[in-house]
Structure 1
């Protein structure tokens, strides 16, 4: 039965032994790791950290006066967020704007004259100012970018330029755009310093810098022209921005690079560009505010003119200067006209009454006194006065004259003439009164119409005046705000502030600190072989020692056979003082000790598969039993693959097969060996069906007869993993030895014998580990110290 694995137990001593036995792996990997670390330290650029800080200011942006104006005009204003400013500051557009102010389009490199650069350019260093030459580009023409231009300085006047590459972009530095691709270029030419070189792809001039003084010699120099897009991409990959703490408006800008001057210059320029752009945006807001106010003032100027013109036109068209005074005057005139109309009507009625009296009553003229009648017309009054005098004269004549008196007739004629004149005058007065009454009534109607329109005029006048006042006030307000916005724009400042300019951060390089690299190399040099050994141990599913046996089976463990060579096939006989002979001696003693109280004579030796040393163990165990003075016979029952010929000088003409199949006498199949007390029965001729022969009763007779003649009968059986002969022979055996080979037999192969043992179908079975090298196992490492006991 298979035992449960002790998964959580770690045998540290065992692992230490395994690691120590492979010390050469650790030494080799450590040496390689140190060599790689040395090359890495020498070839890697020293990358440093650089940091700077900037203050964002408050949440308002733009001109304060403009903000106030926008609030008054109900324009929505949104505050800024730190996250938004970080995104803006780290945007490709902002980085591009900063790089356009810097001359980073050229990168210079040098390959130092170092032994590591003998075969390959391993150590490559970037230069910034201390270069042996200066590159002047014609930015108005096409250039090749992102490809190395190798410069070999021949002398102070000449240099050799080499350019090799594929799919090289053709770039215009003025427009910052790729104009095409050069599929392949192989260029090598000797040029002169100071002379421009021009072709369809390259347009530049190289100048000698300080005649090469103060510049160390190098294996190679080269430079690379960088497109703006590649510069932006490179900067964005190293730029990192975050607030100094949560909710803080102080941002920390950090980057990494090998050239301190370039990195600090970039950070400073980026912050300056950000601050300048912020100020420009605020000035732009101020200018937009002024433009907005100017547009409003321009439109209000027209509106103001139109409103005043409309008010003036309305006043003039309606003849309105003071509408209240004009209303009072109209009411007075209307009252006067009403009075005039009443007087005219009275006069008319009076005239009509007099006329009616005169026409209807001829005596009326004699009785009425004009003065009493109250006639106001002077002509009519004179006529009535004349009529009165004629009446008085007539009365005087009548008193002294008769009706035929000529004087009386003359007076009557004069009275009739005056009376007709009065009637005519009265009719004229009545007609004139009618005309005057109609005129007064017309004037009254006109004044009443004027008074009826008075409320509408008042409303219209009030609307026009209100509109004119509103436009005028708005105009004055905008004029005031324009003056304030102009002053604010002239004195505008940004609320963004550079706190700390760029500087080194840290105590040294962040990527190639030699101590850290070498320590890491040491760790890697130890971890890789250790992991390799652990991996191999976990992958290796073969038997490693006694611990593996005890973890996968309950079958008792008998002992181990030491590792040997092919020359040690008969080690027990030929070299009885060897470790192998001692191993078999120990197994014999253990076997006799374990089975001391039982009568065991038949010992079966088997294994899982071929190659595990089953025959080797059975032969040497038989030799050991014979050396101990026990009469022993060894049977080769594996009639499919006989191997006794490798150990003994045997004849295969007679053997087990001939005994079982042809009833050959036992004396004819037993063969003597040169070892005292040891006989063998080889397999004989290979039969057609070995398993049928082993099942015959004659096999049982053979075992019974041999048990009578010998002290021990050792049977070398076929492996149980290949054929089933062992299950036939198992019933004849008193003891079974199951051989497994160290680092050869897989653990899974023991499942079959485990099942037999668990079902109690096999008795007295013991496991033997064969070919165990004491130097390669922790469990028996102590036996290495006893090597001087062996020969």
Structure 2
């Protein structure tokens, strides 16, 4: 026999068209998944809680005053020694728990949630200052996050139903005659049950309350609400290294977000002013204390001078007395200034020993201290204090950065205290020096007359106290002016406004697009996964991907309960399938006078015997003598389909127990004969490979036009391969959703090695809904009027249902 050229193995590349066909064939599942996902997206967009983004702009920048105000600010430690604000610390303060808790306490409307409930029980969007009712707490303690359903039974009456009743120990009753928490309440009446204590009032007289209107309400926990707001707040600079920041907040209402941001910015600015004013207040308090001490001494000196002049009629001093007084006043003034400095140093020592960092340290310039080293150390210490105040807003005490800052504060405290002690010692030496010079002048004073000497003493005390008092008054005035001229370092650029808000959730278009993608991707992915996990052939692309062997035809699924539908139903679609195969076979057999067609399959149950009988029947309808040879000697079935006996058969002929004439049996179908398999022999392979088989085929060629040989499955036994030398065409029958892909690869190996002549694939049991990528009716238009004669019946071609018969073999 002529051998064919060995083809190349099939490609392992992914066949995109195969998957396209796979998706098209399952379009109903994909469409259902898409519809379901879009429906879920619609419900999500319709009923999910809306979220709005509100924005504002805040400048965080230190303002430097000019002229005299700038000089007067030197007396404040917070203003004089604070560096340019650390913007990251300011952002941390804005998002701190302490500041946000103050904001929550300043916004009582945020403490209660109001959600309308429809008649079907579906909750609406949470409202803010638009509900027709408002809850007024009568006590500070309320159960938090415990929902209550308020249902109105009339315009002014309602019932309250807690969704989760607290323990009975928390139950409280009102002092009325019923004490029933399930009864009707009137607007303004106290509800005092289950730990709650509040009244329900109208928000305004404009909104009406209808009967059966329901509201879901609960009291928010201030702690939880503070943390929720903090996480929803974002503070970002408008650009890198800028001191202008965008504040954005995500809330359930534009007005809610605007109120929160505006209150946050207001309290943040007020807090900065409080910190700066605290240093000025401390300075003024210190000066007031010193004025209180000196004012009594000044009053006594005034009274003494006035009394002396009245009693002694003494008006002016002599020239010598005047000179002595001037020198004494000079030295006494120096002593007083040194005394003020000593008091300041003693204040510093007491302040450092007290370790109370809540109060700001007073600037050295208040008492005229100009020591540059001391000024620098006080400035560094004040800066560390301010940094620590800011850090405790956002960082816990046990964090490493706080502990590091505490060590820096202690180091600065120790250095400052050491400097103060050293300066105080030097200052006391200076005081002793001044005292010695005062003593020398006082000895000169002793030579003056007694009356003049007493007047100089009184005048000396008065001038001394008056100069100190005047100095302190000037300092207090400067401190007051500095405090009054204090301006904030920060200011609001843009307030949060409702009209500038935007809804960010739900993002309807994004949700629909996501749902559409998931509705397509998920079913398509499942289809691909199921396809990869499936080891059965489903469609034409499966076969074409696994083998290069040609497909000669397709036999459709049959709903007829007969094994020879071509003979029984010659006008059926199934018969047309076999006619198409018959036409294709003519191209394979060529000019052979009597082509020998071997029909096999990978395993049992794929319908090779069914195909053999019906293919032989359709060929015999062309007035050709056809012989079916049953060479499945192990499991013969041809005789059962043809409703004939299995007496003398091929096993006997091949073993020389019967003649050619004995095994050739006519059938009820015209022009169709068959050679049954006969009794099952012990050595079928040896019999098929014997010379008697060749002798049988040679004689049959002389008497018949076509020979069809039904052989055992090649995936189980090799009997069919023994017929390669005597056959012209080999048909391998595979069955949809039955034949495994491994079996097709086995057939491809036979095809590529050229072990059988003219190998072709015949696909059996094709279903209209499952064999994607191929027209199941092969172009035959059904019901166009042709009728076929069948003994006792007329069959309209293509009379309705698809056909094809599948069998266990």
TM-score class, shorter-chain normalisation, is: 0.5 to 0.7
Which of 593, 616, 621 lines up with 1:627 in the alignment? Answer: 621
Aligned to 2:90: 85
Closer, same or farther: CA 659–781 of 1 in aligned 2, 3 Å: closer
Asked if residue 204 in structure 1 is aligned to residue 204 in structure 2, the reply is no
Structure 1 residue 18, shift from structure 2 partner:
5.5
Aligned to 1:52: 56
Alignment of 1:27-66 (within 5 A): 27-58=31-62
SS at match of 1:499: strand
Asked if residue 107 in structure 1 is aligned to residue 229 in structure 2, the reply is no
2:52–2:250 contact (8 Å) kept in structure 1: yes
Closer, same or farther: CA 204–588 of 1 in aligned 2, 3 Å: same
Closer, same or farther: CA 71–300 of 1 in aligned 2, 3 Å: closer
SS at match of 1:189: coil
Structure 1 residue 736, shift from structure 2 partner:
1.1
Closer, same or farther: CA 548–131 of 1 in aligned 2, 3 Å: closer
Gaps of 5+ in 2: 1-7, 171-179, 291-339, 348-423, 445-466, 785-796, 799-809
Closer, same or farther: CA 162–664 of 1 in aligned 2, 3 Å: farther
Aligned to 2:147: 148
Aligned to 2:644: 650
Q: How many residues align?
A: 615
Aligned to 1:360: none
1:144–1:170 contact (8 Å) kept in structure 2: no
Deviations 1:498-545 (A, max 9, x none): 111112366863334667766766666556555555555566565455
Taking the aligned partners of 2:654 and 2:739, their CA distance within structure 1 comes to 33
**TM (normalized to structure 2)?**
0.65
Closer, same or farther: CA 713–289 of 1 in aligned 2, 3 Å: farther
Structure 1 residue 106, shift from structure 2 partner:
1.0
Structure 1 residue 101, shift from structure 2 partner:
1.3
Gaps of 5+ in 1: 172-186, 323-472
Single out whichever of 246-255 and 631-640 deviates more from structure 2.
631-640
Structure 1 residue 231, shift from structure 2 partner:
1.0
Closer, same or farther: CA 611–278 of 1 in aligned 2, 3 Å: farther
Aligned to 2:432: 310
Deviations 1:169-213 (A, max 9, x none): 999xxxxxxxxxxxxxxx973253344344563333334666895
Closer, same or farther: CA 661–199 of 1 in aligned 2, 3 Å: farther
Which of 586, 590, 597 lines up with 1:592 in the alignment? Answer: 586
Aligned to 1:502: 496
Closer, same or farther: CA 639–201 of 1 in aligned 2, 3 Å: farther
Which of 250, 257, 279 lines up with 1:256 in the alignment? Answer: 250
SS at match of 1:755: helix
Taking the aligned partners of 1:257 and 1:128, their CA distance within structure 2 comes to 10
Deviations 1:375-428 (A, max 9, x none): xxxxxxxxxxxxxxxxxxxxxxxxxxxxxxxxxxxxxxxxxxxxxxxxxxxxxx
Taking the aligned partners of 1:42 and 1:619, their CA distance within structure 2 comes to 64
Structure 1 residue 476, shift from structure 2 partner:
12
Aligned to 1:164: 163
Deviations 1:130-160 (A, max 9, x none): 435432324443x322221112233456533
Taking the aligned partners of 1:67 and 1:170, their CA distance within structure 2 comes to 60
Taking the aligned partners of 2:746 and 2:610, their CA distance within structure 1 comes to 22
Taking the aligned partners of 1:291 and 1:784, their CA distance within structure 2 comes to 107
Deviations 1:645-685 (A, max 9, x none): 66321334554455557935555544432112222344445
Taking the aligned partners of 1:71 and 1:208, their CA distance within structure 2 comes to 52
Closer, same or farther: CA 215–603 of 1 in aligned 2, 3 Å: same
Which of 185, 188, 197 lines up with 1:192 in the alignment? Answer: 185
Taking the aligned partners of 1:133 and 1:719, their CA distance within structure 2 comes to 84
Aligned to 1:424: none
Deviations 1:104-140 (A, max 9, x none): 2210111123xxx3xxx33423233343543232444
Single out whichever of 557-566 and 682-691 deviates more from structure 2.
682-691
Asked if residue 786 in structure 1 is aligned to residue 781 in structure 2, the reply is yes
Taking the aligned partners of 1:219 and 1:546, their CA distance within structure 2 comes to 63
Structure 1 residue 92, shift from structure 2 partner:
3.3
Closer, same or farther: CA 667–497 of 1 in aligned 2, 3 Å: same
1:53–1:500 contact (8 Å) kept in structure 2: yes
Closer, same or farther: CA 271–37 of 1 in aligned 2, 3 Å: same
Taking the aligned partners of 1:169 and 1:57, their CA distance within structure 2 comes to 56
Taking the aligned partners of 2:248 and 2:132, their CA distance within structure 1 comes to 31
Aligned to 1:125: 125
Aligned to 1:673: 667
Between structure 1 and structure 2, the one with the greater Rg is 1
Alignment of 1:14-413 (within 5 A): 21-25=25-29, 27-58=31-62, 68=74, 77-103=82-108, 104-113=110-119, 117=120, 121-141=121-141, 143-155=142-154, 158-165=157-164, 189-190=182-183, 192-193=185-186, 194-198=188-192, 201-207=195-201, 214-216=208-210, 220-287=214-281, 298-300=343-345, 306-307=428-429, 310-311=432-433
1:774–1:783 contact (8 Å) kept in structure 2: no
Single out whichever of 204-213 and 592-601 deviates more from structure 2.
204-213
1:156–1:208 contact (8 Å) kept in structure 2: no
Single out whichever of 234-243 and 638-647 deviates more from structure 2.
638-647
Taking the aligned partners of 2:777 and 2:25, their CA distance within structure 1 comes to 14
Taking the aligned partners of 1:211 and 1:320, their CA distance within structure 2 comes to 87
Aligned to 2:357: none
Taking the aligned partners of 1:212 and 1:190, their CA distance within structure 2 comes to 27
1:111–1:221 contact (8 Å) kept in structure 2: yes
2:155–2:208 contact (8 Å) kept in structure 1: no
Alignment of 1:327-726 (within 5 A): 484-504=478-498, 509-512=503-506, 542-543=536-537, 545-567=539-561, 569-598=563-592, 601-644=595-638, 647-652=641-646, 655-657=649-651, 663-665=657-659, 667-685=661-679, 691=685, 694=688, 699=693, 702-726=696-720
Structure 1 residue 80, shift from structure 2 partner:
3.0
Taking the aligned partners of 2:501 and 2:132, their CA distance within structure 1 comes to 30
2:148–2:162 contact (8 Å) kept in structure 1: yes
Taking the aligned partners of 1:139 and 1:646, their CA distance within structure 2 comes to 96
Taking the aligned partners of 1:189 and 1:666, their CA distance within structure 2 comes to 103
